[in-house]
Structure 1
Amino acid sequence: MIKYLSEYFTSFFLKKRMKNIEFFMRYPVEIQSKLIHQLILYAKNTEFGKKYGFCDIKKYQQFSERIPIFRYSDLQSFIYRIRKGEKNILWPGQVKWFARSSGTTNTRSKYIPITKLSMNTCHYKAGKDMLSIYIHNHPETKIFLGKAVRLGGSYKLHKKYNTFYGDLSSILIKNMPFWVENICVPGKKIALMSEWEKKLENIVKETGHQDVRILLGVCSWLLIFLKKLLQEFNKKKIDEIWPNIEVIFHGGVSLIPYIYQYNKLFEKSINYYDIYSASEGFFAIQDQKKDKDLLLLLNHGIFYEFIPTEEINNTNPKIFPIEKVELNRNYALVISTNAGLWRYIVGDTVRFTSLSPYRILISGRTTHYINSFGEELIVENAEKALNQACMKTNSIIHEYTAGPVYMNQNNSGAHEWIIEFKKKPHDLGIFKKILDNELKYLNSDYEIKRYKNIVLGPPIIYVARNGLFYDWLKKHKKLGGQHKIPRLSNDRRYIDSILKMEKE
């Protein structure tokens, strides 16, 4: 009886949130305008606020003219002081928690401040909205009668300064509201273990006999977990273990390279809902059953601006608030947040698929692309082309990365792809040809550079052994959490590192 009452009240509470979601969908510009004024008001007496004269900023134009664009390196000295316990630097008061990035954009870790306000009004609020949208789309759902499996990272105490740092998921699990904690498995003790492989074994043991209905996590790590689960219980399908499994909320990496493998794990149809969450904030949620574009969250403590990708390396790039963006144009995402990030370049690129309401697709990274020859290849192109090559050759990709092969006196340039197949194509040459043709179709710059092999030769594909990418992540202490394989790189640091490990 208690179980059903809990389900009823949770469902009732979350259904009411749809009114809030519909409100920011209806009045996006007004809400964003109000939000930036609130952020400025909050931070006017901080060191940063005093430096840039927050007290007399009344309009967005003043904000945009007065405050420069920041990358992490520009804020690093501020954040270092905050980590040492200094107060009122970027945001009022003292910040105790810092999300350490997975390091996919550069080799050094980044420490993103997480305030109590950002936890509650951004991350947790977006989590509630994620569930509200799902209930709205699936009114007959019974997900709250069961459990939700979460895969998280771990955190550490900086003893000298009494501040904490770690994977964002570990910070959110540690501080999670009681009503969420009640439905989640495993418990915090296991969820926050630092050693990934030992944690994985414990999660399998603790969750295998539960009535699991929701999965939450990065889809690449969830896949490893589900395969381990099947192995442990000697089953062929996840439904045999969890007959009421219903939905997977996933983010971090694209589901496209993994979807075939996921579908093979389940006997029945599973709902997949994409989310766009990062250390810097929870930005967007898939709000439609079939369409995979994401609803931008406009009332969650984040003010958005957008730089056209062709402007990103300019000294004074054009930058637009949300009411000035255009459809189907790639933008670098810039945010100001209630954790003290001001006009901060996240590193992701997005394009708008709808302006009423504002919906986006993640198109790539400002640093995860290949443009060594003017081809401007982004992750979105790569994902679509690889998916087509797999479909047409009846093959399955487990992991991949790509980078440039530089020109020399005798040869044109090329792209080298390291691909670990779950199911290899019968003819790698046909796979390569399809990949090449799809990239030409998707990217006119790539097509031009491929003309007669003058600038760019055909792709080079190296078939990796099983487990190579996992071993590479393990060696670099990037197992679990939000760590992921860098898909595209404009230099050879990743592919050379992975190939070197293959030869060891």
Structure 2
Amino acid sequence: MLSLKSALAKPFAKRIYKKIQNWANKPVETQENVFQDLIAEATSTEFGKDHDFISINNHEDFVKRVPIRDYEALKPYVEKVVAGEKNILWKGQPIYFAKTSGTTSGSKYIPITKESMPSHVEAARNAILMYIHETGNAKFVDGKMIFLQGSPILKEQNGVQLGRLSGIVAHYVPKYLQKNRLPSWKTNCIEDWETKVDAIVEETLPENMTIISGIPSWVQMYFEKLQQKTGKKVGDVFKNFNLFIFGGVNYEPYRAKFESLIGRKVDSIELYPASEGFFAFQDKQNEKGMLLQLNSGIFYEFIKADEFFNENPKRITIANVEVGVNYVMIISTNAGLWAYNLGDTVEFTSTNPYRVIVSGRIKHFISAFGEHVIGKEVEQAMQEALLNSNISVTEFTVAPQINPKEGLPYHEWFIEFENEPENLSVLAKQIDESLQKQNTYYFDLIKGKVLQPLKITKVKKGGFQEYMKSVGKLGGQNKLPRLSNDRKIVTNFPYVD
């Protein structure tokens, strides 16, 4: 029998579904309205005055007046906001700063305003409601749900609360979910990640867990600890666990490992959240890609990734994007980010409605020899090579080897195996062939004897976790880069098997 809560979830889900269809069916008009609203609201800010917002009428005007900036380039404005000045990037002051550890610029302070905060909360809620509407499954709302996240403890800086995005969002869990939510506030506040996961295992073991969510690599750590403690598959420990919600990285490289840990298949929902905005969520179980949030106070521009480093790359709106092209995503938001380069690359899987997959990072690629291999390509190559095999991979990263002791240069794949292959060179050959198929530049360099085929270096079990711990990035929202254009991660890497 359905409880009141799960019975009410279905009509609510239907209402939200209709609301979403409304803007998804008018994508260009929706984005134009967002654009005009953003410009109007920020005309009297310091940034708006500096960039002559008052005379911006359309996207062409915006492109002429507002150059693309990453965090470093926007920093002079952000520093004024952090110092407590008002009306700089957006009217008034932000209500939060999401503090993130930037890979190049140290700590970043990303503003969140009272206008931008609701979309961070609503998008995650709507993802679950769209799933209920599509599948008719609402029973899980009666069970316990967990989100593996950062500490919710916030500090204050010049009148603005400061913390990790996941910790900020923890303050906005709706009342009707408070009783269902784990871990407890006390456990969530534990800073040391391993201690925290141990406490979460103790807290969740006796509960009826129905939803588990977080970044796959850290959920894996939680699942492994559950299995070590109970000697059972996660699906046997939590018999009603049927929905896994994840974001931050591609799930495919983890899927086989997760199904083995859980012991059965469970439905999953992919999210695309960031401190800068909640950009997309999976709206259909059997469609590839996530629905781009066009009505959330974010105006999107796109630049073809292979043109991004040109002197004057063309900036287009969703009206002109094509399916299957790798784009750098540029955002302008009601938190005061303008023509801001997140560093993410996306690919559209559909333009009716607009759905995207995250294909990688514009900084995370290998082009040491002109091959421009991206994250999506290495993940797909790995996925294809593992298909129909009993090999399973815990984690991996790829780096160029420019000066080998002998022979031609090559790509070096550092792989931590759960189940090892009998023959590493056979696996390396399969991955390499898949990469050549996907990337013509790489194919030409192999055929032209500029590069030799890739080589695999085995990483010892738990090696990548030890590495992340050593650089202070264990747990939370931290992710291991899938590939790099240098050998910073793997130079003097002590975790090789």
TM-score using structure 1 length: 0.94
**After the TM superposition, which residues 445-464 of structure 1 pair with which residues of structure 2 at under 5 Å, given as runs?**
445-452=441-448, 454-464=449-459
Shift of 1:118: 1.4
1:106 maps to: 104
Quote the Cα distance in structure 2 between the aligned partners of 1:247 and 1:144.
Answer: 11
CA distance in 2, matches of 1:487, 1:107: 20
1:178 offset after TM fit, Å? 2.5
CA distance in 1, matches of 2:386, 2:163: 36
Aligned to 1:201: 198
Look up the match of 1:183.
180
Partner of 1:48: 47
1:227 aligns with 2:221: no
User: Residue 313 in 1 paired to residue 312 in 2?
Assistant: no
Aligned with residue 421 of structure 1, among 417, 421, 430: 417
2:9–2:138 Cα contact (<8 Å) kept: no
Question: Residue 284 of structure 2 corresponds to which residue in structure 1?
Answer: 288
The equivalent of 1:300 in structure 2 is 296
The one-letter code matched in structure 2 to 1:33 is: E
Partner residue in 2 for 1:477? 472
Contact 1:102 1:482 in 2 (8 A): no
Q: Which amino acid aligns with 1:456?
A: L
1: CA distance, partners of 2:304 / 2:294: 20
Deviates more, 1:137-146 or 1:242-251: 137-146
- Secondary structure of the 2:383 match is helix
Q: Distance in 1 between matches of 2:218 and 2:69?
A: 31
Question: Contact between 2:95 and 2:113, CA under 8 Å: does it hold in 1?
Answer: yes
SS in 2 for 1:416: strand
Taking the aligned partners of 1:112 and 1:502, their CA distance within structure 2 comes to 36
Matches within 5 A, 1:225-264: 225-232=222-229, 234-264=230-260
Moved more, 194-203 or 150-159: 150-159
Gaps of 5+ in 1: none
SS in 1 for 2:115: helix
Correspondences of 1:70-109 after superposition (within 5 Å)? 70-103=69-102, 105-106=103-104, 108-109=106-107
TM-score of the superposed pair, with normalisation by structure 2: 0.95
Deviation at 1:170, TM superposition (A): 1.0
**Displacement, 1:364?**
1.3
State the shift of 1:74 in Å: 0.7
Matches of 1:134 and 1:266, distance apart in 2: 21
Specify the alignment match of 1:133 in structure 2: 130
Deviation at 1:107, TM superposition (A): 6.2
Q: CA deviation at 1:418?
A: 0.9
- Tell me if structure 2 keeps the 8 A contact 1:44–1:55: yes
Superposed CA offset, 1:107-166 (max 9, x none): 62322112232121x211211210121011211331111121111112665566354433
What does 1:15-26 correspond to in 2, within 5 Å? 15-26=14-25
Aligned to 2:98, what secondary structure does the other structure show? strand
Q: What do residues 446-495 of structure 1 show as CA deviations (whole Å, max 9, x unaligned)?
A: 1001115x211111211011111101111111111110111110111112
Structure 2 CA distance, aligned partners of 1:117 and 1:210? Answer: 36
Q: Would you say how many aligned residue pairs link Structure 1 and Structure 2? A: 497
For the 8 Å contact 2:151–2:164, the answer to whether it is kept is yes
**Distance in 1 separating the partners of 2:496 and 2:298:** 42
1:344 aligned to 2:340?
yes
1:185–1:410 CA distance, 2 compared to 1 (3 A): closer
Taking the aligned partners of 1:397 and 1:239, their CA distance within structure 2 comes to 20
Shift of 1:282: 1.1
Higher alpha-carbon deviation: 196-205 or 154-163: 154-163
Contact 1:190 / 1:199 at 8 angstroms: preserved in 2? yes
- Per-residue displacement from partner, 1:306-350 (whole Å, max 9, x unpaired)? 001122112321000110111211110000111111110111111
> Any conservation in 2 of the 1:157–1:164 contact (CA below 8 Å)?
yes
Determine if contact 2:10/2:136 at 8 Å carries over to the other structure. Answer: no
Contact (CA 8 Å) 2:414, 2:458: kept in 1 or not? yes
* Compared CA separation, residues 213 and 270, structure 1 to 2 (3 A): same
Task: Determine the structure 2 residue equivalent to 1:14.
Answer: 13
CA contact (8 A) 1:49 1:90 kept: yes
User: For residues 351 and 102 of structure 1, what CA distance do their matches in structure 2 show?
Assistant: 26
d(CA) in 1 for partners of 2:91 and 2:71?
20
Matches within 5 A, 1:107-126: 108-120=106-118, 122-126=119-123
User: What secondary structure is seen at the aligned counterpart in 2 of 1:349?
Assistant: strand
Give the distance between the partners of 1:413 and 1:19, measured in 2 at CA. 55
Match of 1:167 in 2: 164
Q: Per-residue displacement from partner, 1:364-412 (whole Å, max 9, x unpaired)?
A: 1100110111111111110111112222553111011111111589743
Distance change >3 Å, CA 262–CA 409, structure 1 → 2: closer
Look up the equivalent residue of 1:352 and give its one-letter code.
F
Report the 3-state secondary structure (helix = DSSP H, G, I; strand = E; otherwise coil) of the residue aligned with 2:309.
Answer: coil
Q: Is the 8 A contact 1:36 1:303 kept in 2?
A: yes
Partner residue, 1:385:
381
Alpha-carbon deviation of 1:187?
2.4
C-alpha deviation, 1:502, in angstroms: 4.9
Alpha-carbon separation, structure 2, partners of 1:136 and 1:159: 40
- 1:269-284 alignment to 2 at 5 Å? 269-284=265-280
Matched, 1:434 2:433: no
User: How far 1:193 moved relative to its partner?
Assistant: 2.4
1:55-76 CA-to-partner distances (Å, cap 9, x unmatched) read: 2322222222211111111111
Cα deviation for residue 44 of structure 1 reads 1.6
- Secondary structure class of the residue paired with 2:490: helix
Q: Gaps (5+ residues) in structure 2?
A: none
Deviates more, 1:396-405 or 1:258-267: 258-267
Aligned residues: CA RMSD: 2.0
Determine the C-alpha separation between the residues in 1 that align with 2:286 and 2:178. 29
How many angstroms apart in 2 are the aligned matches of 1:337 and 1:189? 34
> Which of 368, 371, 374 matches 1:372?
368
